[in-house]
């Protein structure tokens, strides 16, 4: 029988409890929610994304995912599929030190969470300059860039489509193409 998850948690109680779990759990508005796995296609896109970012970044920043959590500015904890952390490397840390880019590969069952609740959480995290949602079912992505008002605003979001569609992260010196992330995954 699995351990019953209590209704309301504190940040410290969540961190202590989650460190002992076999399954990852996000902390959202005082509640703990298990994080489920994805399809093979989802996994492959995320792995390709992480590899491409590793090659493009060189040094200084590190690519993590999906087992590194982001402590959001509104007190939640999220496990993005991929993230770029430009903070000091702390080997024993339980959270990213300075997350600057966060990526989610969309699935039909969780797309509304990624496009709504997670956008809210990442918007509340000033260090995150880029939030990228990548469809696993079509050559399409949505890129949020923190604007001059300090927001990841949907009105400024960029829709990227097609094989040559480029996801540009200029402050990191990175450009990724949807075609490269989806190569050979049709069908």
**pLDDT in 10s for each residue of the chain, 187 residues:** 234 455 678 888 888 888 888 888 888 888 888 887 778 999 999 999 999 999 999 778 999 989 999 999 999 999 999 999 999 999 999 899 999 999 999 988 778 778 888 999 999 999 999 999 999 999 999 999 999 999 999 999 999 999 999 999 999 999 999 999 999 887 5
Domain boundaries, the chain: 38-182
How far is it, in rounded angstroms, from Cα 141 to Cα 161? 6
Domain 38-182: state its class. alpha beta
pTM of the model: 0.89
Under 8 Å CB-to-CB from 184, ≥6 apart: which residues?
A: none
């Amino acid at each position: 029988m699995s351990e019953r998850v209590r209704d309301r948690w504190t940040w410290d109680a969540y961190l202590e409890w989650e460190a002992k779990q076999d399954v990852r759990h996000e902390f959202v508005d005082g509640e703990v929610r298990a994080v489920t796995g994805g399809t093979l296609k989802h996994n492959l896109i995320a792995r390709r994304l992480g590899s491409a970012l590793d090659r493009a970044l060189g040094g200084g920043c590190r690519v993590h995912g999906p087992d590194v959590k982001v402590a959001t500015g509104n007190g939640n904890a999220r496990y993005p599929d991929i993230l770029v952390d430009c903070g000091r490397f702390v080997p024993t840390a339980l959270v990213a030190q300075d997350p600057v880019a966060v990526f989610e590969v969309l699935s039909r069952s969780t797309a509304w969470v990624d496009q709504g609740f997670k956008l809210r959480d990442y918007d509340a995290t000033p260090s995150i300059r880029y939030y990228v949602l990548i469809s696993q079912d079509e050559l399409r992505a949505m890129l949020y860039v923190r604007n001059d008002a300090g927001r990841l605003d949907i009105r400024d979001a960029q829709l990227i489509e097609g094989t040559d569609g480029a996801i540009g992260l200029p402050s990191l010196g990175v450009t990724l193409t949807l075609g490269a992330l989806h190569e050979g995954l049709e069908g």
